[in-house]
Amino acid sequence: MPEIGRDRRGAWRAALACMVTLSVAMGLGRFAFTPMLPIMLHEGKLELAAGGLLASLNYLGYFLGAVSCAAISVKASSMVRGGLLATAALLVGMGLLHSFTSWGVLRTAAGVMSAWVFVFASGWGLRRLAETNAPALAGVIYTGPGIGIAMTGLLGGALGRWGSEAGWIGLGILGLALIAVIWRVFDDGERAPAGTAGAAAPAAAARTAASAADRSDAIWLVALYGLAGFGYIITATFLPVIARQALPGSSWPDFFWPLFGLAIIPGALIGARAPTHWDNRLLLAVAYALQALGVVFSVAWPTIGGFALGSLLLGMPFTAITLFAMRDARRLRGNAAAGLIGYATASYGVGQIIGPLFAAPLAQRTGSFQVPLLVAAAALALGAVLFAWVWFKSRRSITI
């Protein structure tokens, strides 16, 4: 019984440390730009199209970081710690440097760091949960981005009242404080039980040999995961700006982004509890449909109620989509799923890069985000339909 208790404590230490890690790397390092953008626009430091370019550079960095992970052989704990420290430094740098070129370099580097930390912290955390017999705590890990987004939304606007420089530096200092709290946890489990890798190898080889029959499903997963990246990112990048255009003079626009972040938390916990026998493609179809509906609400009902409901519907499936996609990759490739996950993450990154580059110039020319948002909703709806069709086709072939 005591050993089980120690395992339980170790599992919670790992889950909570990874939760805080993703809060810093994703919520602060990657998404702090969303609440800071309207402040920088108001100060005249950026135009909307330039803001869209900075957002896309961050997502380009995320793409480059994701595709480079397979070539990195550094210990996971070292990658996580180094990436977290770099993230905090890059946040502070956004407040200390003042040229567009330097901001572009910093946001690109922040994207690389967020991808590295996400991949290596996920791998480290899921391994620790497996070692401590607590895989159900995976949902706790993936509440991290939501918590971080909520923090950036609530604190970014408040700090920004003293100017965007104070906002960026304050978020960087917050990141350093959080990093200090979890730093030592990544020493846990450094000496894995002997034979673990060897035991996994036969299963991985068996899955790899069998994967030829699933190649079509893998191609669909990679392609459709990119639609998720494009479909959510326009709202996720410009939500405060969109809300301020629709509700001039209102204080509510500052709260929709934190609401989006808070909605991620129950979505991640519920998604992690979805039974393994439920088909991931159907779960992805439902999640895409919910996000599409959330985007439509911000267009069709541009009021406090519409933006609030849209933020909830967009946020709840956000990390659940990642969970279901990773689970489907493991269904197709087993323990050899890292390559497929990398391709899917790269596709998601491409969608994120294209979104702001498409939306910001169009919105600046037309004075409205209505058309970009409708295109984003259509991309998500298409993804939902195609995932349902792929599932139906596979069920039909089994029946025949």
Kindly report the CA angle at 330 between 326 and 333, in degrees rounded to 5?
A: 130
- In this prediction, residue 257 has a pLDDT band, given cuts at 50, 70 and 90, of confident
CA dist., res. 91 & res. 211, Å (int): 42
CA dist., res. 27 & res. 103, Å (int): 18
Output 191 or 333, whichever has higher pLDDT. Answer: 333
Q: Does residue 207 surpass a pLDDT of 80?
A: no
Mean pLDDT of 287-302: 94
HEC sequence for 178-194: HHHHHHHHHHCCCCCCC
Average pLDDT for the chain: 86
Residue 138's pLDDT is what? 85
How much is the pTM?
0.82
- Lowest average pLDDT, out of 36-45, 102-111, 206-215, 306-315, goes to 206-215
Output 111 or 331, whichever has higher pLDDT. Answer: 111
Contact 364, 49 (CB under 8 A): yes
- Token pair of 346 as six digits: 């790269």
Output 201 or 86, whichever has higher pLDDT. Answer: 86
pLDDT digits (tens, 9 = 90+) for 49-91: 899 899 999 999 999 998 888 788 888 899 999 999 999 999 9
pLDDT digits (tens, 9 = 90+) for 310-369: 999 999 999 899 889 988 887 887 766 767 877 888 899 899 889 988 998 998 888 889
CA dist., res. 181 & res. 18, Å (int): 12
Q: How far, rounded to the nearest angstrom, does the alpha carbon of residue 68 sit from its chain's CA centroid?
A: 17
Residue 373's pLDDT is what? 94
Q: Which amino acid is at 90?
A: L
Residue 399's pLDDT is what? 54
CA dist., res. 184 & res. 263, Å (int): 30
**What percentage of the chain reaches a pLDDT higher than 90?**
51
Q: Does residue 10 surpass a pLDDT of 50?
A: yes
CA dist., res. 131 & res. 206, Å (int): 22
Q: Does residue 206 surpass a pLDDT of 80?
A: no
